């Protein structure tokens, strides 16, 4: 479980970084790339939570532009 918490926080940190990039990028292709990274991290979070349902939720888990 401690490993899952560390992994979960790492994925959420990556999502926060890419949310900031998505907001900052003027180019639509760059925004799409940031969004794909966010979606990938969200899939990883979903997998972690499926294995360990006791992990809490956060806004990053379901963020959409």
Q: What is this structure's pTM?
A: 0.91
CA–CA separation, 28 and 65 (whole Å): 13
Q: Where in the chain are the domains?
A: 2-45
What are the pLDDT digits (tens) for 4-47? 999 999 999 999 999 999 999 999 999 999 999 999 999 999 99
Question: Are the C-beta atoms of residues 44 and 11 closer than 8 Å to each other?
Answer: yes
CA–CA separation, 30 and 8 (whole Å): 25
């Amino acid at each position: 479980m401690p490993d899952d918490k560390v992994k979960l926080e790492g994925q959420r940190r990556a999502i926060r970084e890419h949310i900031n990039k998505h907001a900052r990028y003027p180019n639509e292709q760059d925004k799409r790339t940031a969004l794909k990274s966010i979606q990938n991290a969200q899939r990883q979070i979903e997998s972690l939570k499926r294995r360990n349902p006791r992990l809490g939720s956060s806004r990053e888990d379901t963020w959409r532009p």
